[in-house]
Amino acid sequence: MQYYSPELINDSLLLCNVLKVNSEELSKIGSMFSLSGEPEETLSILCEKYNLRLIALTKGSEGSVLYTPEEILYHPGFKVDVCDTVGAGDAFTAALTIGVLEGKPLAEINDFANTVASLVCHYNGATATD
């Protein structure tokens, strides 16, 4: 069963000003709206078309990209002995949200969000508890 449609995604993008997607989601959005090219090109088009302030692209073990109309910040991620990736994207999003709300520099936000997400990967399940 499909839980989304091009109309729902479009309407949601019109309502937001910050977007967090992973590589797979960005690829699906790109296909859905006939956007081709490198991920940065898709991020640029989405940012402009939907007047987004920030797009966070998580790339699993390859880190993340924070894209704004003014700058692109890459983070290579951290080398992690992965136990479970469940919850890593949510942890990244929570850390990103805290950083944005606190007005932190994007490079600091990107580092912190990657740190928190990698910590979650050390544990089984969606929380970093023993």
pLDDT tens string 31-79? 999 998 899 999 999 999 999 999 999 999 999 999 999 999 999 999 9
Give the start-end residues of each E strand in 1-130.
18-22, 54-58, 64-67, 72-75
| Average pLDDT of every residue of the chain | 93
Q: Torsion-angle region of residue 100: left (phi > 0), alpha (psi -120 to 50) or beta?
A: alpha
Q: Which domains does the chain have, with CATH numbers?
A: 6-120 (3.40.1190.20)
Structure tokens at 57: 């692209």
